[in-house]
Structure 1
């Protein structure tokens, strides 16, 4: 574990370097491999008559940008979810938040013909909120506290509910089969920056809230009795942190569909490096989450050539063994 401020700062710089390397690999590698010299020319003197420049500017750059933003958002949302629930198995994908957002987006697209990126963002937020409220309601004990075991079981049930509803639409509206399938599997391929633009203000608000709440988030990891003994009221902090989770997870689903396990894996990796201080955990999650999804998306292009595997499938392959490992541990505390 990195203990000193200097070593942690150096670790963040290495995280920046890893993210940049992963982004470079994402831009250069694929069915059509691009030379670094071509990349420089596309940046300095773009020529839309060149096939390679066209691929870079219209496909690879947007894809890498969206993968980085979505990966960072899901990782930070996962860290906040684990802190709020004090559960090592908690993540937006495990607790049904991603599934709720995905289901609402699919329903809005199928039955109400919503195509506006901003409208789909609000629908995704609503679905994420409904799913979170359902899980919180089902996961509470009679004392009003969240049970670590019950909340995971509630999340599994809510996820199954919303995924089943979305899958039912595949039968009803087969004309949009491929689009629905991409929402279910999770993919950053073929997405343009136009769909990301409406989310940037929400992500900016979420980032500001994380900065403002970072010290209070450290208190949430303590026992409730200890927090009360310190004279701290955590209700508002939990509400604002929950809103950040809804914005980050719901927005990510609105862009890329249901990509799982990023919010589960990354926070544990970051805490192993930086400890539990959210001043280091949250930026570490943003960097490592972005790098992880960029790497997963790049690897997905070569898993079953010449076809590309949705990145959600790749993250599931990486995350399922990790989830089983955590589930076998005695302690559920993050």
Structure 2
């Protein structure tokens, strides 16, 4: 079984591209779609911050790579910032938060999206240089006053700055336990297509106050979370390929049903010339609780909710047709 995290990994059996519009994909996966000049402004801000950006003329080894990120309701996306290059069309890193949004995951996102220190002193970052200075001062003070033996002071003076320099990498490892991060191809491309579908569902849920659409958005977040976990564990779970393909196919069908249900609801809303009130009978959607299959969302849940949205769209279209016919009949009698 090939490894998705390798630089030359290829998995044609995992991802058969869904069919969202290319322009929509570009807008969703680009950092600042619809905001001309925003990317160049962000790159200039990073440059002023003091970091050295990669330019096409400079070798990679001599550059400090800086990533510009954008937070979303489900996680974040980050893009490589490079001077003299056009705005990237897809992210280099995708992070997904758990659907429950615990505080630890939110803090992990904040830590993983931090900017690297731009100010350096003697090839050391500012925190490391400051720690080394404090350690040296404290060690010399202890030696001058014979507070501690030399065998204790000198190792501490050397180890404390070293520990501070490696501490961020250890914190990165701890933070990644609370979130799921995808960086390698083809896993990143697959997750990007799911993000495009989820963006369509989330926009429809935010625009139209229907519990069914809100529940579809919650299911979509769960799909992103489970898919990111499966992509990371694909080597150890032989059924990942089939589950990932089912997620993409069924979520694509669910996104189409969401679009149809949203359009039918808007047609009905225009027909009655008033905004529909939320359905108090179903505050959490038609399926408020979801049974899990091996700690992942069963694909059948997506199919069932797509069918429910199809029935909802049909009902809205029928209601709009009946209201229009009643209006025509009243005009004929008048």
TM-score range, shorter chain: under 0.3
- Give TM-score scaled by structure 2 length: 0.26
Between structures 1 and 2, the one with greater strand share: 2
**Structure whose CA Rg is larger:** 2
